[in-house]
Structures are given as structure tokens and as C-alpha cells.
Amino acid sequence: MLINASDADADTHVDFVPMVDVLFNLLIFFLIATSMAQAEREMAVALPHAAASAPISSAMREIVINVTRDGAMIVNTKTVDEASLLSMLKAAVSQNAGQKVNVRGDRDAAYGLVARALDLCKQAGIAEPFLQTIPTR
């Protein structure tokens, strides 16, 4: 019995309609979920007064200290000396006791230079300064 090769190919059919339906439903779900989260932040709620209140944006902002190869400390694209960095960190801790600090030391910088930046964080009252690294491949 002879089977035509063209007849075997005619029977296979991929239906894309269910896949498009699923993608469309996912799109609608995520659009609604993100709009609900935004609406939740914009609700008209009369918040109570508190002595230690602060805007959410200031509590969420973290300070990033970059230590270059030659030991310069850069914060917000400005080179700062140790005294001004310490005063900046103390001011941030006075406004937000849980201030987050990220220390990014150049891999070729001397360890003592990065340790000095971490020490300044501890002197200012930063509970846990974070030493940022990148994962190995």
C-alpha cells in the first residue's frame, strides 16, 4: 500500500487561537493588577498624625558610596572627603534610623580604602552597610 507523503502533512495543524486567548487573558490580568496597586496608593484616606512620620520616598532611598581604585569616595556623582561623607551619613541616619547604604568598592582598590568607607558608615550609625559585589560566572 502506497502512502502519499503530502497527505500525512495535511493532517497536522497547530491551532494558535487558544494560545492567543491565554496571552490575552494574561495581559488583561496584569493590566488590572497593576492598576489596582496604583489605585491602592491613591485612595483618599485620612492618615493619622505621628511624631516620627516621614515620607515613604525618603525612607526607601538608599545611599550608594562608590570607592574608586585610587580611594576617592563618590556619592551622587560628587567626590566627597571623609568628613563630609560622615556628616552626610549622620544627617541621613537622623532623618531615617533604618537608612540603607550600599558600598561599591573597585575590585582593584586597596581593601583598606573600602574598609574605611564601611567604618564611616558604622561611625554614622548605619546598622548594616552592604558591600556590593557581582556574581562570578
What would the pLDDT profile of 5-30 be if each residue is shown by its tens digit?
555 556 677 888 999 999 999 999 88
Report the chain's terminal Cα–Cα distance, integer Å.
58
Domain total in the chain: 1
Evaluate whether residue 10 is within a structural domain: no
Residue 85's pLDDT is: 94
Reading the block at residue 69, the C-alpha cell is 581604585
Largest alpha-carbon pair distance within the chain? 93
Evaluate whether residue 65 is within a structural domain: yes
Evaluate whether residue 26 is within a structural domain: no
**What average pLDDT does the segment 82-87 reach?**
94
Phi/psi at 84 (5° precision): -70, -35
- CATH code, domain with 86: 3.30.420.270
Residue 57's pLDDT is: 55
Evaluate whether residue 77 is within a structural domain: yes
Residue 86's pLDDT is: 95
Evaluate whether residue 108 is within a structural domain: yes
Has residue 71 got a pLDDT over 60? yes
Has residue 125 got a pLDDT over 90? yes
| Residue 30 neighbours by CB under 8 Å, 6+ apart | none
pLDDT band for position 46 (cuts 50, 70, 90): low
pLDDT band for position 34 (cuts 50, 70, 90): confident
* Full residue range of the structural domain in which residue 74 is found: 56-131
**Sheet containing 130-131: which strands, arranged edge to edge?**
78-80, 73-75, 63-67, 101-105, 130-131
Distance CA 64, CA 14 (A): 52
Has residue 69 got a pLDDT over 60? yes
Task: Read off the pTM.
Answer: 0.57
